[in-house]
């Protein structure tokens, strides 16, 4: 059996590996010169500091199988992600914790007092939150929303928070204790040698051939393959025949300083009049090393043009008709599965991408054994089951 995988990020690499271990021969096409997709890392030539090329990526999961898979190919170093927020001339812990609440309101609450205090601040809605703004004020009231989230969200998405889905905020924890770790998962860590090496290790199998610098196009030959796995942008597969799906892209402004610039890996800039959204200080992603200098990246968000990297799918009501047209066309396709963030037009974390890639491989192998068509969107099997 032969498979063609388009894209050598985590999604494509995991599917390729699973099929190869099932004795399929797999060709992988990757447009870049290295594997890893948006998780790719590289060493800064001036300082030798490992850089998260496309922005910070922290591995966190509650899935034992996903964690075991990553540890099979990486030396994972324990790491708890710490984020700070600069707002109104002060610096606060983020996500919002008991310390954030006490500092912002100039209080000294315990957890029970803080819960009661925030309960009085919350806006009681007559129904489920319809957008980001309603989700925020229903969680913790207008004051925290206005200072920490309104301006940042407008910069990140280029739209009013009233236009952004409520689910975007649900990704962020809200705590009544002093736990300052950004994530609250059983397994958290960073690969000591970077994500690029991890993905390269997954792809290292005698039945996998990786072809770098190959840009996919609708006319890319797929004949002779028993199945195709596509991990690129959904609209790209169809040659943008129904129009382009909207994405936000990022611009990075890198600079080098002596010593330690901000004392944490990521500083969010919440004020609307600051043009960038955050600054990443990369050496804090390698706390097991010591560096005299520091490399930082200011991050600016804007609408993606046809020539840009696509990072965040814009899930707005007015775009749903185009998206559904593409999804219908995908379901009518034969011999191809769409896997990963770009191909399913969803913002998902690395561990979810790996879990869904494992499921995609299982679906393909099961369909082949049962002599039935493989699902075009294998991740929907997981969503249905759960």
Catalytic positions, written as ranges: 171, 175, 248, 278, 299, 347, 349
| Rounded Cα–Cα distance for residues 219 and 276 (Å) | 39
Burial pattern 242-262, b for ≥16 Cβ within 10 A else e, equals: beebbbbbbebeeeeeeeebb
Nearest to 377 by CA among 302, 346, 303, 143: 346
| Rounded Cα–Cα distance for residues 67 and 64 (Å) | 5
CA distances from 121 to 140, 168, 303 (A): 6, 21, 34
The helix/strand/coil state of 112 is: helix
| Rounded Cα–Cα distance for residues 323 and 378 (Å) | 17
What does the radius of gyration of the chain's CA atoms come to, in whole angstroms? 22
Structure tokens at 359: 């499921």
Query: Bridge-partner residues for 30, per DSSP?
Result: 212
Question: How are beta strands 83-87 and 266-269 bridged, if at all?
Answer: parallel
| Rounded Cα–Cα distance for residues 126 and 120 (Å) | 16
Distant-in-sequence, close-in-space partners of 40: CB < 8 Å, separation ≥ 6: 32, 34, 53, 54, 195, 196, 199
Structure tokens at 70: 């990553």
- Do 114 and 100 touch, CB atoms closer than 8 A? no
């Amino acid at each position: 059996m032969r498979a063609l995988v388009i894209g050598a990020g985590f999604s494509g690499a995991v599917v390729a590996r699973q099929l190869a271990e099932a004795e399929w021969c797999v060709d992988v096409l990757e447009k870049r010169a290295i594997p890893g997709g948006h998780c790719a890392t590289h060493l800064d030539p001036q300082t030798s500091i490992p850089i998260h090329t496309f922005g910070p990526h922290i591995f966190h999961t509650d899935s034992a199988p996903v964690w075991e898979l990553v540890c099979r190919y990486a030396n994972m170093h324990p790491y708890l992600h710490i984020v700070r927020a600069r707002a109104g001339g002060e610096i606060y812990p983020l996500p919002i914790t008991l310390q954030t609440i006490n500092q912002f309101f100039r209080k000294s609450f315990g957890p029970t007092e803080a819960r009661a205090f925030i309960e009085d601040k919350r806006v009681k809605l007559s129904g489920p939150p319809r957008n980001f703004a309603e989700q925020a004020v229903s969680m913790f009231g207008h004051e925290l929303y206005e200072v920490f989230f309104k301006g940042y969200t407008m910069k990140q998405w280029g739209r009013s928070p009233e236009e952004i889905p409520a689910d975007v905020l649900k990704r962020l924890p809200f705590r009544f204790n002093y736990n300052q770790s950004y994530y609250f998962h059983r397994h958290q860590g960073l690969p000591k040698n970077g994500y690029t090496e991890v993905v390269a290790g997954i792809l290292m199998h005698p039945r996998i051939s990786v072809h770098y610098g190959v840009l996919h196009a609708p006319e890319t030959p797929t004949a002779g393959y028993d199945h195709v796995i596509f991990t690129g942008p959904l609209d790209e597969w169809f040659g943008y025949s129904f129009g382009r799906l909207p994405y936000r892209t990022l611009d990075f402004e890198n600079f080098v300083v002596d010593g330690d610039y901000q004392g944490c890996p990521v500083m969010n800039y919440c004020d609307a009049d600051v043009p960038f959204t955050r600054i990443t200080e990369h050496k804090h992603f390698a706390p097991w090393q010591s560096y005299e200098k520091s490399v930082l990246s200011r991050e600016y968000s804007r609408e993606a043009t046809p020539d840009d990297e696509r990072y965040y799918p814009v899930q707005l009501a007015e775009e749903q008709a185009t998206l559904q047209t593409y999804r219908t066309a995908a379901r009518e396709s034969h011999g191809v599965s769409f896997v990963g963030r770009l191909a399913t037009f969803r913002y998902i974390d690395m561990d979810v991408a790996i879990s869904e890639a494992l499921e995609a491989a299982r679906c393909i192998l099961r369909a082949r054994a049962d002599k039935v068509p493989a699902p075009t969107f294998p991740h929907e099997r997981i969503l249905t089951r759960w």
